[in-house]
Structure 1
Amino acid sequence: MRIPSHRSPSRHSLRYGLTALLAPVLIAGCGAAQGAIRPEPTPSTGAPTPSTVSPTAPTSPPSSATPTTSVALSAPPKPSPSKPASSASASRPPAPQPPPPLTPTSIVRGTASGGRTVALTFDDGPGPATGQILDLLTQYGARATFCQIGPQAAADPAMVRRILAEGHRLCDHTVHHPQPMHALSHDQQVYEISAAKDMIAKAGGAGTKVRWFRAPGGDFTAENQLIAAQCGLRPLGWSVDTRDWARPGAPAIVATVQRDLRPGGVVLLHDAGGDRSQTVAALKQLLPWLIAQGYSFDFPAV
C-alpha cells in the first residue's frame, strides 16, 4: 500500500493548484448528493433549559369547609428474602456483546455475508497484471473488489468494463495515491476522493457504482472517512495485509494469507503500481487453496 519508488508524490504536487478552485464545487457535490453527514452531537450534561422543565403548581392548603375522608392504608407486604446466588452463577462470565453496527464512516474489515467467506481486494490498478488476475478469478469462479486510481481507470475504460462485466466491484483509491493522505488540506482530500470516484464511474459507463473508498497506505482519519461517506462511499480496510507491493516472493504472499486469514476476512493485494508477477503467481496457489479450505468468495460489507 505504499507508493512504489517510481511513483513520486512530488511530481503531482503542481496539480493541486487547480484543487483549490475545484474543491468547493466538489464538496457541494458530495454533500448534496448524499445529504450532509455530521458527527452525532454529544448530549449536554448541564442543567435543563426552562423550556424542558415543567413548572410545578403551588399546593393549596385544604379548605376547612371541605370534609376530609379517612383512608385506611394497609401495611406494605414484607419483602421475601432474596436467594443468594450460587457460586456457579456468580463466577460465570458475562455473555459477549455483539459488535456495534457499522455507521457510514466505519472502516469495513469484513465480508458482507460473514461466515466462511473471503473478500479479495486489489489496489492501484488497472494495470498490466489486471487481465491475468481476471483470468484466474474466472477460472476459479472467484469474485473480487478492485480499488482503482482515477486516472488509470480513465486511461483504460475497457478494462474497467471487463471487471464489471465479469461480476466484480469497484472501489475508489484516490487520484494521485498521496501518502500520507492526512497531510493534505481538506479541499485536496475532497478532490482526491470525489474526482477519483467520478473518473472510475465514467470509465465503467452508465450505471457504474463505486461503493468503497480505500485510503492509500490505510491512512484513514475521521476527516477523510467523513468525506468518503458524504460521497456515498464506505471506508474499506483489510484484515490480511500480504505486503505483495514489496515483492517478498510468491511463497511469502501465500504463507501470509494461509497464516492470517480468518472467516469473513478481507485480503489486501495489488494488481498495479509495479511488477505484480509475484501476486499473479501467488494467486495461482491461493485460489485453489481457499476453495479446498471451504471458503466462498464475497464482497466487503457496505
Structure 2
Amino acid sequence: MSRHKLGIAAAAALLLALAWVWPEGERPPASATTATEPTASASPAPASEGDGEAGDTAEPEAPASSAAESDAPASDPATSSTPSPAPSDPPPPVAEPAANTYDGPLGTRNHTGDDRVALTFDDGPSPEWTPKVLDMLREQGVKATFCLIGAYAEAYPELVADIAREGHTLCNHSWFHEFDLGKQSEEEIRSNLQRTNDAITKAAPGAEVKYFRHAGGQWTDRAIAVAADMGMESLHWTVDPSDWDNRTTEAEIRDHVLDRSGPGAIVLLHDGASNQKDMCGALESIFAEFSRRGYTYTAL
C-alpha cells in the first residue's frame, strides 16, 4: 500500500514538472502587438508616442507643423495666427494751404486756394487752335481760364463769344502782349487794360473779366495796383512748361506739367503762340494722368 502511494506521488510530481516547462503556444508577445497595430486613422503614430518609459513625465514633442511655426519670428505677419489688417489706400493729396494762394511774384495769385487745379491758356484767341482746345475741354467736362490778347479778341470776336458761352473764365492779357507794360505810367497801363477789356466785352456782352495776367510775368507793383483798381485780380501760375517755345517737345511739355503739378496748381499753357500742336498732344496725356490722380478742376 505504501509503495502504491509512493508511485502515485511520484507520477503527480512528474506531471507538475512537465506543466511548468511546456510553452504557451504560438501567440506573439504583447509588446510586438502594440508596436505594429495601426491607429484608427491608418496613419503612423507621432514619433514620440510610446517612446518614453511608463511614468515618464517629459512633455510630448509638438507636431511638426507647430514646430515649424514656432521657428518663425513672432512678428512675421505671414505666420501670425491673427490676420493682419489689409493695407489702407494712401491718403488723398493734401490741398495747398490758403496762405500759399498768393505766393507768386509781388503777391500775385499762383495757386487755386484749394485742392482743385486750374488750366489757363494764354495769347489767344487763335482761329486755328482755340476751337481745338475748346473741343478738348468740352470732351473732358473741364472749365478753364483764357487770358486773351486785346488785339486778337477784337480780330476774332466769335471765338471770345464761344469761350464765354461755354463757361470759361476770362482774363486780360494786355492789348498786344507788351512785356514792358508794368513800367509804363499808370495812365498808359489803365488805357491798355481798358482797351483790352472793351474788346472782350464787346465780343461777349455782359461777360466779366476777373483777372489780369502780365505778359511774360513781368509784374510790377504799379501794374498790379492799376488792375486791382479796375476790379481784376493779378494771376500768375504754378507751372510753366514753356509750351510757347517751338523747341519744347510734346513729351517735355507733358513731363514738366505732370512732374510739377499738385493739388492747387495753376498750369500755364497757350492756345495762341507757336507750339500748339505739341501742347494739344501733351494735354491729352495730362488729362489722363490728372484723372488717375483724382484731380478736379476749377475755372477760377
Tell me the TM-score normalised to structure 2 length. Answer: 0.63
Q: Indicate the SS of the match to 2:244.
A: helix
Q: Is the 8 A contact 1:111 1:299 kept in 2?
A: no
Aligned to 2:162: 162
| Residue of structure 2 equivalent to 1:185 | 185
Deviation at 1:200, TM superposition (A): 0.9
Give the match for residue 119 of structure 1: 118
Please show how residues 22-41 of structure 1 align to structure 2 within 5 Å. none
Query: What SS does the corresponding residue of 1:217 show, helix, strand or coil?
Result: helix
**Residue 28 of structure 2 corresponds to which residue in structure 1?**
none
8 Å Cα contact 2:239-2:268 kept in structure 1: yes
CA drift at 1:186: 2.8
Distance 1:274 1:98 in 2: 35
* Displacement after TM superposition at 1:106 (Å): 4.4
Q: Which has the higher contact order (CA 8 A, sep 6+)?
A: 1
Aligned residues of 1:122 and 1:268 also touching (Cα < 8 A): yes
Query: CA–CA distance in 1 between the matches of 2:217 and 2:207?
Result: 25
Letter in 2 for 1:211: K
Change (3 A) 1:183 1:226: closer
SS in 2 for 1:267: strand
1:108 equivalent in alignment to 2:105: no
Once the two structures are superposed, the pairs formed by residues 43-58 of structure 1 within 5 Å of their partners are none
**Residue of structure 2 in register with 1:279 after alignment:** 279
Unaligned runs of 5+ in 2: 1-96
Structure 1's 168 and 282: CA in aligned 2 closer, same or farther, altered over 3 A?
same
Q: Is the contact between residue 149 and residue 175 of structure 1 (CA under 8 Å) also seen in structure 2?
A: yes
Mapped contact 1:242–1:268 kept (Cα < 8 A): yes
Query: Could you tell me which residue of structure 2 aligns to residue 94 of structure 1?
Result: none
Q: Over the residues paired in the alignment, what is the CA RMSD in angstroms?
A: 2.0
Matched, 1:237 2:236: yes
C-alpha separation in 1, matches of 2:253 and 2:210: 27
For residues 275 and 255 of structure 1, do their structure 2 counterparts lie closer, same or farther at Cα, with a shift above 3 Å needed?
A: closer
After superposition, what is the alpha-carbon deviation per residue over 1:15-37, rounded to whole angstroms, capped at 9, x for unaligned?
A: xxxxxxxxxxxxxxxxxxxxxxx
Q: Deviations over 1:175-195 (max 9, x none)?
A: 011123333233222222121
Matches within 5 A, 1:53-92: none
> Could you report, residue by residue, the CA deviation over 1:247-293 in whole angstroms, capped at 9, with x for unpaired residues?
30110000001111120110000001224111111112111211111
Structure 1: distance between partners of 2:118 and 2:187? 32
Measure the CA separation in 1 of the matches of 2:111 and 2:261. 11
Secondary structure in 1 matching 2:146: strand
Is the alpha carbon distance of 1:146 and 1:100 closer, same or farther for their aligned partners in structure 2, counting shifts above 3 Å?
closer
Structure of higher CA gyration radius: 2
TM-score normalised by structure 1 residue count: 0.63
Question: The residue matched to 1:245 in structure 2 has which SS?
Answer: coil
Shift of 1:157: 1.5
Alpha-carbon spacing, 1:265–1:186, altered in 2? closer, same or farther (3 Å): same
Task: Please name the residue that 1:227 is paired with.
Answer: 226
Once the two structures are superposed, what CA deviation does each residue of 1:189-219 show, in whole Å capped at 9, x if it has no partner? 22221211121111112x1110000000011
Gaps of 5+ in 1: 1-96
- Give the AA of the match of 1:202: K
- Note if 1:268 corresponds to 2:268: yes
Taking structure 1 as reference, are residues 98 and 108 closer, same or farther at Cα in structure 2, changes over 3 Å only?
closer
Who is 2:17 aligned against? none
Contact 2:245 2:275 in 1 (8 A): no
Aligned pairs, how many?
A: 200
- Asked if the contact 2:100–2:111 (Cα under 8 Å) also holds between the matched residues in 1, the reply is no
SS of residue paired to 1:274? coil
